[in-house]
Amino acid sequence: MTVIWYPLKDRAAHQRWKDKLRRLGIPKFLTVEHWLYDGDQHGIYNGAGLFIVNPPYAFTEGLPPLLEALRAALAPEGHRGEITADWLGG
């Protein structure tokens, strides 16, 4: 398993980057992202993500119930925030 942390700043630019990574066809390539704010806050850190290549089965099975609890606990006041998990490759 390989895990890479990255900052989230701009949703549109980040989505274009993920689309390019998806086309690489890397198997078992998972992203987990925590967007702190309901919309981009220009010029500041908007969240963080993890690229996880070849995550263990138990990790992927145990992840969904944790995401909502983390989102609720970490969202800044006045924002709902969002945490997502998305497979970029098989």
Digit-coded pLDDT (tens) for 3-58: 999 999 988 988 998 999 999 999 999 999 999 888 888 888 899 999 999 999 89
pLDDT at 87 over 80: yes
Q: How far apart are CA 37 and CA 45, in angstroms?
A: 10
What's the confidence (pLDDT) of residue 75?
A: 82
Q: pLDDT at position 49, please?
A: 94
Nearest residue to 3 via CA among 56, 58, 45: 56
Decide: helix, strand or coil at residue 40.
coil
Q: Tell me how many domains the chain contains.
A: 1
Domain that holds residue 78: 2-89
Whether the CB-CB separation of 11 and 49 falls below 8 Å is answered with: no
59-82 tens-digit pLDDT: 888 888 888 888 888 888 888 888
pTM (two decimals) = 0.83
Residue 90: pLDDT above 70?
no
Which residues have CB under 8 Å from 9's CB, separation 6+? 40, 44, 45, 46
